[in-house]
Structure 1
Amino acid sequence: MVAFGKKLKETQIQEWQRYYINYKLLKKKVNQYARQIEVGDQDHYYILKDFSKMLDKQIEKIVLFLWEQQGQLARRLSNLGEQHADVSNISELQEAYREVGWDLLRLLFFVEMNAIGLRKILKKFDKRFGYRFTNYYVKTRANHPYSQLRQVLRHVGIEAVVGTISRNLADLQDHQGSCVSIYDRPTHPLPDPVIDSIKAAVDRLTNSTNFLEYLGKHALIVQEELPTPTKDHVLDERYHFMSLLLNLVSTFLYMVNTYIIVPTADDYSISLGAAATVCGVVIGAMAVAQVFSSIYFSAWSNKSYFRPLVFSSIVLLVGNTLYALAYDLDSIYVLLIGRLCCGLGSARAVNRRYISDCVPLKMRMQASAGFVSASALGMACGPALACVLQTQFKLFNITFNENTLPGWVMALAWLIYLLWLWISFREPSSYEDEDSVVSQDAKAELLENGELEDAQPLILSLEEKQYDEEEEEEEEEECDISEEAPEEAKKPVTSIVSAYKLLTPSVKVQLFVYFMLKYAMEIVLAESSVITTYYFVWSTTNVASFLACLGVTVLPINIFVGSYISNVFEERQILLASEILICLGIILSFHIIAPYSVPQYICSALITFVSAEVLEGVNLSLLSRVMPSRLSRGTYNGGLLSTEAGTLARVIADGTITLAGYWGMSRLLNVTLLPSLIICISSIVATCLSYNSLY
């Protein structure tokens, strides 16, 4: 990854160079402050004030230039509007509007580069001094009525220019006068590439989403802020649709495997002579093993994708077979070993890495959405399938019933998948130095073929720039809090400890929020069979139907939030509101007033589960933005950290259910909900403390 200061200089629109944020100056100032604090020359209060004034001047420079350019675009559009009456020059008007569109795109690119630079310098300051500065600066500037910060980070007012260009271009293309804006969905797409480019630029700046983009964020596959076409060109050669499909099927089957046993785990435990609450250990055994399997599968995927997927399928085949045979062997230990094997076969890290490493950038969001959709469908299909498997018979002295059939069905499914994988999967070609800077020969070839110009029309020049000694020294100062060498700072981290050291307070808070929501969801799902049997005498079919209905809500909720809610409210607002709703759902779940009713249980579970689903989307979206760039790739990446946090939450939640069983069934519900409530309140407090750093 190229240092941002260098990338900013290379991609600047040259005639506007003096209006960009002076990232180099600000970065040197941060380093100077660090040295002053070390020797005791300055206090934190002075540094906050002084750096704030510097940023204010930089932002004012950007905003004044932005207004000047908007005014020029507005005048040009006004002049073009007066020429609409002359129908003889439609083609000339179209071309003139396109020129304005490309100039607007240049301006949007200018704003985007400055917004990225501003966020990066705030993040750099926080690495050195904690998150006090971002909290202070955003709190005092963002909500002020004369705020110029909002002009850069939210670019208020520029949408009007966008709407005028898109509407007039559509009007000129459609002689019937249909006024189509960039946000409409016409039957026949507009042929002008400038419209699509403007829409993409506006969506990036406003963080606008549609359902597909919002759903894709759940996968925590970090998107590059300024992707290079060369890297995507390389990935095109590695992409294979059937291999991607096999990864998505693996994701789906694993989630089915996880939740298919939830409705019957308590009955299975009782049939083997254990207590009903041992279902927590049975369900959680898979998550315990996944804590370790995620790490070695992530490391394995550095060298191969095919071999870990084959290993995963074999282990899951064996694990499900052991799970099913435990009934006839009358052994709770065989049952637990089977579930541990299933957890050891968790290849979700491989599935995620394949999308991140082998799917072209232009398709990565769709593939990420497919990954999340496969998980959601598997979560719903698991209990639904358990609902269907309500039969009993014997074959070759092997018992097939509602307890063992989930194991046999999943063993058969993994056997079929293994054969399909062996026949159809194609190992991606090896690659070296994937994250290195593009060579000059490659750049020249792309420029000659016109690929680089088409992919990045706003970059006026990508010729090699010579840096003087001062600039070389400045690049050497590009380091994090641990003062790593420049080459070291570009490499992926090599251990969990190294990854943890890179985490800022904002990232730690978001990982804690993710832990909380997974803990709350697991309590609702894992103890549902025990609770509903004790209070309402529900059958396995009723429990399975209830869980399947909860799972079915995942996609509709994400459609609603991704298409509407996330475009109206800031993500940090949705984050805090969702946490409060989870807290409300947990409080409503407590058994305080007898009798405990079905409506109370269903409503509280629905509020908790749905709120957690909403929270997961915005939480992972924010996490992907605040996650350090070094954690976007390699074995110990951001996706692995979030997976570990979520898996650990499930392990602790399932263990809590089993331990709570020692206090008796009458106290089980309240005992398991109390830790959920404490963790949820703690996450709300942590979110409030880091709220401004999520701007």
Structure 2
Amino acid sequence: MVAFGKKMKERQIQGWQRYYINYKLMKKKVKQYVQQIEVGTLDRRHVLKDFSRMLDNQIEKTVLFLLEQQGLLASRLARLREKHDALQDQPDISNVTELREAYRAAGQDLLKLLSFVEINAIGLRKILKKFDKRFGYRFTDYYVKTRANHPYSQLQQVFKHVLYHPTLDVQGLGAVVGAISRNLHELQDRQGSYLSIYDQPVLPLQDPVVDSIKAAVDRLTNSTNFLNFLGQHALIMQDELPTPTDELVDDQRYHFMSLLLNLANTFLYMVNTYIIVPTADDYSMSLGAAATVCGIVIGAMAVAQVFSSVYFSAWSNKSYFRPLVFSSVVLFIGNAMYALAYDFKSIAILLLGRIFCGLGSARAVNRRYISDCVPLKIRMQASAGFVSASALGMACGPALAGLLQTNFKIYKLTFNADTLPGWVMAVAWLIYLIWLCISFKEPSRDTEENHRPHESNAGMLTLFNGHFLAWYFANLPLSGQ
């Protein structure tokens, strides 16, 4: 797979190279920090201060160039506006055509500027992600919080929202986009010079430049898009610069049935989590426990899931199939134990069954599969499917429990409203396991993925130490040595 730095360089606009964020330099600097810390020539506090200062300088360079280009475009559009106004009194077909081409040329330059913003935003997010991964810090959170909220921050000019979402704050370019679109609309032959984009004209504006601008702006401001909203909540981000080679690799690794199996795993797990909620209190009391134990029974699965996230994240660096098989087996055992606790009259077996269910949570694998193996062109839809499957499972769990209102025995096994949720889910996981073994296709892996364990470890470090790190960074002086 082509390295991000190389892809970024290929996408850079000729003549503007020195104004882009120097991703290669910062990546090299991060590597040097690691080496210097290992030999003891630098401490981590100095690294944070030095890297923050480097980022500030890189962003300032980019933002000042952006503002300069915005000003040039604004001045250019102001001159075109004067020519446009002159045409209102003395319309001339040749002058209208010439003016339209001038607006289109300005639109092409605006497209370059939008591309400039996008590539720099992705580069900044990537280098922050790399820094967090190598050092195990929540440096990104600290950096954005301190810079974006400061009244003199360069960061909030362009990148305020980029670091958390695949979006861009392009409000500063909004006036330029609007001016080009509106004036080209007025110059459209079939609509004369009296209608405006604000008048809801019958005929839409038909101009490839405006279509390209709209597509670029939509790509940069897609936070209002429902699929992106769901994708962000699934923590599955698209922050690469795709190339035809990447798309080919994605297509080779992508297998629809395997994706469907991951979504089915997500759905079944959420059903498993919530199916016991309506009956957990009665079940606990029938085994001689206090009603308050119900909360422990429900929460035991969530607590165990914290630990399962660690080993499933690490395991997914080597395989997707084996963790899913293990998850299904553990969940089958956990649900069977939950159901059998009634006949054994043991609250301990009940709790142990729920802990087993939590230890079988493969949601980290499900998210990782979508992030790594689904092509970019449908990744956001797959991410939306992940969140939708979770939400549907949460709704179906209690509803299914409401339907399991019966009471009978087969041999010495009791089937009633308390035990049926366990039996039903045990059967569901057994069927899923068979489907998994028949249909799942293990994707091929490239060398880059072998470095992912660092990311998983860093993620767990921030989970357990987030509050301490937030305090530490909030009190870290960054001005001076």
Same fold (TM over 0.5): yes
Deviation at 1:405, TM superposition (A): 1.8
Is 1:362 the counterpart of 2:377 in the alignment?
A: yes
Question: Which whole-Å CA distance do the structure 1 matches of 2:445 and 2:24 have between them?
Answer: 33
Match 2:453 to one of 483, 486, 493: 493
Question: Which whole-Å CA distance do the structure 2 matches of 1:356 and 1:187 have between them?
Answer: 42
Q: Aligned to 1:399, what secondary structure does the other structure show?
A: strand
Q: Aligned to 1:430, what secondary structure does the other structure show?
A: coil
Report the equivalent of 1:517. Answer: none
Report the equivalent of 2:109. Answer: 103
Q: Which runs of 5+ in 1 are unaligned?
A: 436-489, 513-681
Letter in 2 for 1:431: R
Asked if structure 2 preserves the Cα contact closer than 8 Å seen for 1:63 and 1:152, the reply is: no
Deviation at 1:107, TM superposition (A): 0.9
Q: Aligned to 1:261, what secondary structure does the other structure show?
A: coil
Match 2:245 to one of 223, 227, 230: 230
Superimposed CA distance per residue, residues 649-670 of structure 1 (whole angstroms, 9 cap, x where no aligned partner): xxxxxxxxxxxxxxxxxxxxxx
Report the equivalent of 2:397. Answer: 382
Seen in structure 2, the aligned counterparts of structure 1 residues 156 and 222 have a Cα distance that, compared at 3 Å, is closer
Asked if structure 1 preserves the Cα contact closer than 8 Å seen for 2:269 and 2:361, the reply is: yes
Match 1:332 to one of 320, 342, 347: 347
Asked if structure 1 preserves the Cα contact closer than 8 Å seen for 2:21 and 2:123, the reply is: yes
Q: Aligned to 1:227, what secondary structure does the other structure show?
A: coil
Deviation at 1:355, TM superposition (A): 0.6
Asked if structure 1 preserves the Cα contact closer than 8 Å seen for 2:276 and 2:398, the reply is: yes
Report the equivalent of 1:522. Answer: none
Report the equivalent of 1:527. Answer: none
Match 1:239 to one of 250, 254, 260: 254
Question: Which whole-Å CA distance do the structure 1 matches of 2:67 and 2:368 have between them?
Answer: 40
TM-score if structure 2 supplies the norm length? 0.73
Deviation at 1:19, TM superposition (A): 4.0
Question: Which whole-Å CA distance do the structure 1 matches of 2:204 and 2:440 have between them?
Answer: 35
Question: Which whole-Å CA distance do the structure 2 matches of 1:39 and 1:416 have between them?
Answer: 56
| Superposition pairs of residues 568-647 of structure 1, within 5 angstroms | none
Deviation at 1:254, TM superposition (A): 0.5
Superimposed CA distance per residue, residues 226-258 of structure 1 (whole angstroms, 9 cap, x where no aligned partner): 333421221122223333222112101100101
Q: Aligned to 2:372, what secondary structure does the other structure show?
A: helix
Report the equivalent of 2:224. Answer: 209
Question: Which whole-Å CA distance do the structure 2 matches of 1:337 and 1:15 have between them?
Answer: 65
Report the equivalent of 2:76. Answer: 72
Asked if structure 2 preserves the Cα contact closer than 8 Å seen for 1:308 and 1:350, the reply is: yes
| Superposition pairs of residues 375-414 of structure 1, within 5 angstroms | 375-414=390-429
Report the equivalent of 2:151. Answer: 143
Superimposed CA distance per residue, residues 160-188 of structure 1 (whole angstroms, 9 cap, x where no aligned partner): 2223444566678895798669xx9x999
Letter in 1 for 2:432: Y
Seen in structure 2, the aligned counterparts of structure 1 residues 194 and 259 have a Cα distance that, compared at 3 Å, is farther
Superimposed CA distance per residue, residues 430-489 of structure 1 (whole angstroms, 9 cap, x where no aligned partner): 132356xxxxxxxxxxxxxxxxxxxxxxxxxxxxxxxxxxxxxxxxxxxxxxxxxxxxxx
Q: Aligned to 2:414, what secondary structure does the other structure show?
A: strand
Count of aligned residue pairs for this structure pair: 452
Report the equivalent of 1:17. Answer: 17
Report the equivalent of 1:547. Answer: none
Superimposed CA distance per residue, residues 387-420 of structure 1 (whole angstroms, 9 cap, x where no aligned partner): 3333333444532222112112222333443444
Question: Which whole-Å CA distance do the structure 2 matches of 1:363 and 1:261 have between them?
Answer: 34
Deviation at 1:108, TM superposition (A): 1.0
Superimposed CA distance per residue, residues 270-298 of structure 1 (whole angstroms, 9 cap, x where no aligned partner): 11122222223322332344344334433
Deviation at 1:356, TM superposition (A): 0.9
Asked if structure 2 preserves the Cα contact closer than 8 Å seen for 1:321 and 1:338, the reply is: yes
Seen in structure 2, the aligned counterparts of structure 1 residues 139 and 81 have a Cα distance that, compared at 3 Å, is same
Asked if structure 2 preserves the Cα contact closer than 8 Å seen for 1:70 and 1:158, the reply is: no
Question: Which whole-Å CA distance do the structure 1 matches of 2:337 and 2:243 have between them?
Answer: 48
Is 1:431 the counterpart of 2:435 in the alignment?
A: no
Seen in structure 2, the aligned counterparts of structure 1 residues 167 and 72 have a Cα distance that, compared at 3 Å, is closer
Report the equivalent of 1:220. Answer: 235
Seen in structure 2, the aligned counterparts of structure 1 residues 393 and 365 have a Cα distance that, compared at 3 Å, is same
Question: Which whole-Å CA distance do the structure 2 matches of 1:133 and 1:402 have between them?
Answer: 49
Report the equivalent of 1:113. Answer: 119
Letter in 2 for 1:493: P
Asked if structure 1 preserves the Cα contact closer than 8 Å seen for 2:52 and 2:143, the reply is: no
Report the equivalent of 2:316. Answer: 301
Question: Which whole-Å CA distance do the structure 2 matches of 1:187 and 1:392 have between them?
Answer: 66
Question: Which whole-Å CA distance do the structure 2 matches of 1:412 and 1:173 have between them?
Answer: 65
Q: Aligned to 2:213, what secondary structure does the other structure show?
A: helix
Question: Which whole-Å CA distance do the structure 2 matches of 1:48 and 1:395 have between them?
Answer: 67
Report the equivalent of 2:64. Answer: 60
Seen in structure 2, the aligned counterparts of structure 1 residues 325 and 28 have a Cα distance that, compared at 3 Å, is closer
Match 2:327 to one of 305, 308, 312: 312
Superimposed CA distance per residue, residues 492-512 of structure 1 (whole angstroms, 9 cap, x where no aligned partner): 2358656667x6xxx988x55
Seen in structure 2, the aligned counterparts of structure 1 residues 117 and 167 have a Cα distance that, compared at 3 Å, is same
Asked if structure 1 preserves the Cα contact closer than 8 Å seen for 2:405 and 2:417, the reply is: yes
Report the equivalent of 2:163. Answer: none
Asked if structure 2 preserves the Cα contact closer than 8 Å seen for 1:393 and 1:401, the reply is: yes
Deviation at 1:78, TM superposition (A): 6.7
The range that moved more, 116-125 or 60-69, is 116-125
Seen in structure 2, the aligned counterparts of structure 1 residues 157 and 500 have a Cα distance that, compared at 3 Å, is same
Question: Which whole-Å CA distance do the structure 1 matches of 2:460 and 2:331 have between them?
Answer: 31
Superimposed CA distance per residue, residues 552-581 of structure 1 (whole angstroms, 9 cap, x where no aligned partner): xxxxxxxxxxxxxxxxxxxxxxxxxxxxxx
Question: Which whole-Å CA distance do the structure 2 matches of 1:374 and 1:306 have between them?
Answer: 20
Deviation at 1:193, TM superposition (A): 6.5
Asked if structure 2 preserves the Cα contact closer than 8 Å seen for 1:150 and 1:156, the reply is: no
Alpha-carbon RMSD across the aligned residues, in angstroms, is 5.0
Percent of matched pairs sharing the same residue: 61
Asked if structure 1 preserves the Cα contact closer than 8 Å seen for 2:87 and 2:96, the reply is: no
Letter in 2 for 1:143: P
Letter in 1 for 2:270: M
Deviation at 1:259, TM superposition (A): 1.1
Question: Which whole-Å CA distance do the structure 2 matches of 1:496 and 1:244 have between them?
Answer: 21
Letter in 1 for 2:344: L
Letter in 2 for 1:330: K
Asked if structure 2 preserves the Cα contact closer than 8 Å seen for 1:392 and 1:399, the reply is: yes
Asked if structure 2 preserves the Cα contact closer than 8 Å seen for 1:73 and 1:104, the reply is: no
Seen in structure 2, the aligned counterparts of structure 1 residues 393 and 220 have a Cα distance that, compared at 3 Å, is same
The range that moved more, 157-166 or 265-274, is 157-166
Question: Which whole-Å CA distance do the structure 1 matches of 2:113 and 2:296 have between them?
Answer: 57
Superimposed CA distance per residue, residues 590-640 of structure 1 (whole angstroms, 9 cap, x where no aligned partner): xxxxxxxxxxxxxxxxxxxxxxxxxxxxxxxxxxxxxxxxxxxxxxxxxxx
Letter in 2 for 1:430: S
Letter in 2 for 1:138: R
Deviation at 1:116, TM superposition (A): 5.0
Deviation at 1:211, TM superposition (A): 2.1
Superimposed CA distance per residue, residues 369-399 of structure 1 (whole angstroms, 9 cap, x where no aligned partner): 1111211221122122223333333444532
Question: Which whole-Å CA distance do the structure 2 matches of 1:91 and 1:243 have between them?
Answer: 54
Question: Which whole-Å CA distance do the structure 2 matches of 1:136 and 1:392 have between them?
Answer: 57
The range that moved more, 402-411 or 79-88, is 79-88
Question: Which whole-Å CA distance do the structure 1 matches of 2:458 and 2:267 have between them?
Answer: 32
Deviation at 1:191, TM superposition (A): 7.9
Report the equivalent of 1:531. Answer: none
